[in-house]
Amino acid sequence: MAKKTYAEKLLDPRWQKKRLEVLDASNFECEICGDDESTLHVHHKQYIKGRDVWDYDLEQLACLCKSCHENLHDTEIKFQELLSLIPLDGVRCKEECYWLLAGFLGLEVETEYAYEQYLYRRGKETSYFLRGDE
């Protein structure tokens, strides 16, 4: 069987069912601006390689009006450009970013080394600072 194109997958009944679940969960309103008159799109917050468009939890999808959806994709391009500027080519750079982000997000992770614990705490402190928590 030939592999389906993305456009063909959007016509699949499994996607149509998932799409309706997302629209219903958001009361058929854009999750950003509240628009309930414009055409609504279902946005994948992140694509995971090898996963079909319907194989996502509702939390990984968002109901957006056409305008907000386009703006969000523009912002994602800017975000990817920003991420590309992070110097991740060193021996431990990706690992260091992992611990900082895990702390920032407040993820429950086990650290093995003192340096990992330090980075995790720094990420957590930054998160508190940005949210204004004490």
Please determine, for residue 119, whether its predicted confidence score (pLDDT) is greater than 80.
Answer: yes
pLDDT digits (tens, 9 = 90+) for 55-99: 999 999 999 999 999 999 999 899 888 878 877 777 678 888 899
Tokens of 57: 């939890």
pLDDT digits (tens, 9 = 90+) for 16-33: 999 999 999 999 999 999
Determine what percent of the chain is predicted with pLDDT higher than 70. 93
Amino acid 65: pLDDT: 97
Q: How far apart are CA 66 and CA 35, in angstroms?
A: 10
> Residue 91: which residues within 8 A CB-CB, separation 6 or more?
none
pTM of the model: 0.66
Domain annotation for the chain: domains and CATH numbers: 6-81 (3.40.1800), 86-131 (no CATH)
Q: How far apart are CA 9 and CA 49, in angstroms?
A: 15
**Residue listed under structure tokens 């957006």:** 64
